[in-house]
Structure 1
Amino acid sequence: MDLINSTNADLYRAIHQVIGCIAFYKAEHRGMSGGTISSALGVIWEDPSAFSEQTVDNYAAQIVHEFIHSSLFLADMVHGTYIDRSLLPKAKVYSPVRKELRDFDKTFHASYVTTGVTIFQSRIGDFENAQRYTGTLRAAVDGLIAMQKGAGVLNASGEAMLQAMDDVLTLIRME
């Protein structure tokens, strides 16, 4: 948390406003290093033994990652994100992280979180990890934009978040 605070004090304050508990557990299934769920807003769980890199930078990026998911859940509760949730499984878009077609909302979350984490990693000087999703993130956001134009999945709030992702990736020239 000290690294997050020294990197971006506003982000640090936002995390403290939204997240009430960071719990450490041993994950039941291998490969799960942490998470959040929409029904338990304000809780982040982590399994440090599952992290491939046991560094302060990695722990901080994981907290930022899960905070962004929580923020998306909260924004959806307050403003909504999607016009009709029944469209989500029909609107498949290539995920920047899993590198496979996923439901629109899953790719939307993955893209939004990856954009935020990439910015954070850049700010702390972790350029190797910040560049990890360079090609797939741009392709995913372009896919979300194309699907939105065709199927109209997002409401005004969701469109604003999608536009923000596109603007950030354009500004940082993520090719």
Structure 2
Amino acid sequence: MNIGHTYENTARLVHAVTGEYPAAEDLSTAYRAAVSNPELRPMPVEGEGISLSYENGAWAEFCTDNGIFQHIFKGAGPSDGPTREGWDNKVANALDLVQEISPDLRRMVDLLVTDLVILNSGADGGGSASHIPGVVVMSPGQNWGVLDYAMCLVHEGMHLNLFLADKVYGTFRLSSTELEAEQYRALSAVKIGQRRPLDKAFHAAIVTVPLMLMEHHEGRTTLVDLYTKSLRDACEDLQRQRPHFTEYGRLLLDELCRFGEAIDFDHVARAISSPDYAGYRPAVAA
């Protein structure tokens, strides 16, 4: 979640793909060129900023043809011009809100989210996947406000961030397929009471943190009230699976569990931007 660490991981990915070491000011362009490699995703990044498309775009067609995000695309109908204009405006306002809440969360979204597919399927949620870096799919709820759009963008941007970190360092000692087995499952902080594969449970727990921060900033408590206990329970269960995390994964797990033990939003805000968290072995985790 730390922006410096995100930049470091992004630069490592760029170097692994291209052999080049990008300067900070060139990082976004270098990342977009790197993930445009056909070995990383089937279609290149086009242009700057977040490219928006809809249910009839190339990414929607690719996802539908390959069974990706079936729960989101199922039931998606055609959208008209005014509907799309409304979505576009909400996304623009949502990015402004992320900037207001945390400029470094906004930098993370701007860096890692290259393509956004918006459609109306009734799924009321979003999706991202490790094998299509930069791509986020969103099906806004009928009653979504700007904060909901902002939280969806940060939520999926954080998943992309975790996928990136996993590509660079590796988070688990077992493959995603192996982690499907019952003995490697852990409680979900979001799907309360459910046990999910370890990687999915870990992701779900981590992405609750910035979402709780965003609601707290806006004076709301829905997610804080909902997730405070479930996040703590999830952390305890994740710690039982500690042997299956890599050294890097344990670093992330320990920092997550510190937050789960004592909800401290000032700490979260500092952690997003502090240089102490920017490296592989941050001083605070020593």
Name the TM-score, length of structure 1 as normaliser: 0.87
Extract structure 1 runs of 4+ deviating beyond 6 A.
none
Q: Deviations over 1:84-114 (max 9, x none)?
A: 2265223111112222111111111111111
Q: 1:146 is aligned with what amino acid?
A: R
Say which of 256, 275, 280 aligns to 1:165. 256
- 1:126-165 to 2 correspondences below 5 Å: 126-148=220-242, 152-165=243-256
Residues 45-65 of structure 1, C-alpha deviations (whole Å, 9 max, x = no match): 1111xx264111111111111
State the Cα deviation string for residues 93-151 of structure 1 (Å, max 9, x = none).
11122221111111111111112211222123222233221211110011101221xxx
2:191 to 93, 98, 122: 98
Q: Which amino acid aligns with 1:142?
A: E
The structure with the larger Rg is 2
Structure 2 counterpart SS, 1:54? coil
Confirm whether residue 37 of structure 1 aligns to residue 125 of structure 2. Answer: no
1:24 corresponds in structure 2 to: 118
2:215 is aligned with 1:125: no
CA–CA separation in structure 2 for the residues paired with 1:84 and 1:141: 19
What amino acid maps onto 2:171 in structure 1? T
Residue number among 154, 173, 186 corresponding to 1:83 in the alignment = 173
* Equivalent pairs, count: 167
The answer to whether the Cα contact below 8 Å between 2:123 and 2:139 also exists between their aligned partners in 1 is no
* Aligned counterparts of 1:125 and 1:153: Cα–Cα separation in 2: 38
Q: 55, 60, 82: which one pairs with 2:150? A: 60
The alignment's C-alpha RMSD in Å is 1.9
Deviations 1:66-96 (A, max 9, x none): 1111111111011110112265223111112
SS at match of 1:39: coil
Superposition TM-score, scaled by structure 2 size: 0.55
Partner Cα distance (2:232, 2:148) in 1: 23
Whole-angstrom CA distance in 1 between matches of 2:118 and 2:259: 32
| Residue 173 of structure 1, CA deviation | 6.4
Aligned CA distance change for structure 1 residues 111 and 130 (closer, same or farther; 3 Å): same
Q: Confirm or deny: 8 A CA contact 1:87 1:153 kept in the other structure.
A: no
Alpha-carbon distance between aligned partners in 1 of 2:128 and 2:190, rounded to the nearest angstrom = 17
Task: Give 1:19 deviation, angstroms.
Answer: 0.9
Which ranges of structure 2 fall in alignment gaps of 5 or more residues? 1-94, 266-286
Distance 2:255 2:137 in 1: 28
Structure 2 letter corresponding to 1:163: D
Contact 1:141–1:165 (CA<8 Å) still a contact in 2? yes
Q: Distance in 1 between matches of 2:108 and 2:102?
A: 10
> SS state of the match for residue 80, structure 1?
coil
